[in-house]
A and B are shown apart, each in its own frame.
Chain A
Amino acid sequence: MKKNSKSNLSRRKLMKSIAAVGSISAMPGFVNYSQASSSAPIRIGFQVHRTGIGAAYGRWYDRTTQAAVKIINDSGGINGRPIEIISEDDGTDPKRGAEALEKFANQHNCDVAFGTLFSHVVIGSAPRAGELKLPYFVVSEGHHVASGMLNRYTLQPGITDVKSQVQAMAPFVKNNLGKKVTMVYPDFAFGHDHRDYFSAAFESQGGEIIAKVPIPPTESSFSKYFPKIPRDTEVLYHVMVGPAVLTFVKELGEFYGSKGPKLFGFIDSVEAVDLNTPGLEFLDGSYFWEGNPRYAQDNQTVHDQFYRTAVGVDKNGASVSDPKDVSTYAHMFGCWETLHIIKKGMEVSGYSDVKDRSKLIEAVESMKNMPLSQAHPQGAKIFNGKTHQTFGHQYISKMTNGKLVLAHTTSIEDTFYPDEVDYTKQSF
């Protein structure tokens, strides 16, 4: 057995300790990166869901981002500087999301951060973005930005938020599907947003929500909830997410057969899911909100055609290399558009390095009209610099023979609601 070491620190031990601390400080990452020179790439930290519940979205957000960066770099980059994407997995977890931002700002010396979809990751990361004074462009569609919950450094210019999406659906549902609606939604914040915003908008249109059926998040079988749907329901509004969604639709089909109410749902329920999956036949004839039509439509714009080709998506919304790898087409355009907005913002503000971050934010805040173009293939948008939120067209498609066919496009004005915050009044 070894003798116990001496109680007092010897000089040799002290030197060893100092050496140990020194060697730790020399490890990768303990060295501050030098300031980027003007010819250096623009470094964009890409916070991505590679693992966790958002992985399917993350995979396609990544592909869209890489495609957009290639297009921008091939056309001269930003102010002649190429974009370099620094990706970091946030694990679809708010704590790791905040750590990723820390890494972007303090280790990789990124100019800005962008990406990520899930609201809790955005809300968990945004305070750190504000503290780090790191512009954080999110592609989340949550109402958290426009609600005033976050800070001046967090912006959502490339994708509309759930409040505007949901309220824009109300006129179509009431005028085309029915006046008596039952809502089925997951019993957590995402579902509650739908419940609250759609109810308010629908009732203001003169419609009636006759029942609200929340489904607990841990539920894997749904048959017991269907008897709660009143018989006089004309429209069933459903917005389920997660792996149990296929079971939900299948059991709904078994419950109603061919005599059920009309169905209206959000594509989130079947995003990245092949609509020809056995069990989904029941959805034929039902309507879906889409952020961007998954299937190439007859009146497809040249911009959607260009974007679709650049990202590698076929006319059915799946990967060109694997028809079973279905994209998250309703959401991922936000990455493409956000990167183009960052480019424009940097060019307008004459951005050169991190000292110009506030100038970049002011430049983006001053943007308003974003016309349909190669930079905005989803459609024209109007950006509200005060609320840091963009507004744009929403699409309603009908499932016909296993494909989604565009039935209605809302106006941008349909998506407006009164401002809830003015971020421009916050100091940098």
Chain B
Amino acid sequence: MRKDIILHLSALLILFLLEILGIFSEYHQGNFARILVLAAYGVGYNILFGYTGLLSLGHALFFSAGLYASGLSIYHLDYNIEQSLFLGICISALISLIIGFLALRTIGVSFMIVTLMFSQIAYLSILYFGSITRGDEGFVIQQSSRVFLSMDLSNPKIRYYSALLIFSLCMLINLWIAKSPFGRVLVAIRENSDRALMLGYNVKLYKLFSIIISGTISGLAGACYGILFGYVGASFAAVSYSIFPLLWVLIGGAGTVLGPLIGAIFMFYLIDYASDITDAYMIIVGVALLFVTLFARRGIIGELRFRYYKWIS
């Protein structure tokens, strides 16, 4: 238990030290700011997929709900960052509740398809209501609007620490869930939902809570992404942004707290370095993913836990 907490806090400490000791170049500082926000999105996805065993193909809906709710409120209503962030979280929580209520009538492949369809509805709605959302082009959140408590969020250092703070918050929530009785019930549902039901747990309610937590964290990440990087666009609601968190979680380790972070770092730099070698970098990415799938089926952290460190959450 203690080792586990030390490990996760150490990971956050390393991320903090990398910045404060100036080890990052400007390039990697910017990359890691982006990765940390996306990893927070991955954490949200992991709670539903990794812990509860529900494979969603429509999580871009929750990410974009937060992104657009906060972005549009700044763009059209001149909300400040605090208000827009709060709105982004509330809207994504509400949408998670509605989608969860409807989608949980299905299981397995049907659940995947239903979540995918809801996500596509959201994506096409963004395009359809182009006069409000600026459709596929999206819109810019101006630098002057991206100020939080007198701090300019476009400043690289402030942006990095903000991203780290958001990721830390999401990761610690994930860690708390993993260690809590609530989290253990989610894992029990993942492993055998019928048995969990027989033991007297309200499986549907637990799943609904899982979707709400997962969707809200994803929405928080979406809202922060728009605010920190200044752009809101429909491509973040497209199906590829539902697949990315799945990949990060699978590569890093489903049902592990650090998995989404490791997966996001791995994918980001795999593409980054492969694209320096060849224009056909997706072939390298594909082969690398194949190797990870073959030799680390549980993901990187999942494999470490399985083979060496059973205590990792």
Contacts and interface: CB of A to CB of B under 8 A. Distances in A.
A107 B273 CA distance: 12
Contact of A192 (B130, B229, B273, B276): B130
A50 B233 CA distance: 20
Interface in B223-254: 229-231, 233-236
A127 B231 contact: yes
Nearest to A192: B130
Contact of A102 (B30, B130, B136, B138): B30
A123 B138 contact: yes
Contacts of B235: 93-95, 120, 124
Given A188-B136, A189-B137, A99 B31 contact: yes
Of listed A21, A124, A126, residue having the most chain B CB within 10 A: A124
Interface string A131-162: 10000000000101000011100000000000
Contact of B124 (A29, A102, A107, A217): A217
B135 A21 contact: no
B131 interface: yes
Contacts of B128: 187, 216
Interface string A80-113: 0000000011000111001100110111000000
A102 B18 CA distance: 19
Interface stretch (B39-47, B180-188, B305-313): B305-313
Interface size class of B (residues with CB under 8 A): 35 or more
Nearest to B307: A2
Contact of A89 (B17, B143, B231, B275): B275
A385 B237 CA distance: 35
A285 B309 CA distance: 73
A102 B229 contact: no
A189 B25 contact: no
A5 interface: yes
B25 A30 contact: yes
Contacts of B154: 127, 131
Question: What is the interface of chain B mostly: helix, strand, loop, or mixed?
Answer: helix
Interface string A14-39: 00010001000100111110000000
Interface in B261-313: 272-273, 275-276, 279, 281-282, 307-311
Interface of B: 2-3, 6, 14, 17-18, 23-28, 30-31, 34, 124, 127-128, 130-131, 134-141, 143, 154, 156, 229-231, 233-236, 272-273, 275-276, 279, 281-282, 307-311
Contacts of B233: 94, 120, 123-124
A225 to B, nearest CB: 15
A142 B135 CA distance: 14
A94 B131 contact: no
Interface of A: 2, 4-5, 7, 17, 21, 25, 28-32, 50-51, 88-89, 93-95, 98-99, 102-103, 105-107, 119-120, 123-124, 126-128, 130-131, 142, 144, 149-151, 187-190, 192, 216-218
Contact of B130 (A4, A106, A128, A189): A189
Contacts of B138: 94, 120, 123-124
B197 to A, nearest CB: 33
A131 B141 CA distance: 13
16 contacts: A29-B25, A31-B25, A94-B231, A94-B233, A98-B229, A106-B26, A107-B27, A119-B136, A124-B138, A127-B140, A130-B143, A131-B143, A131-B154, A188-B127, A192-B130, A218-B124
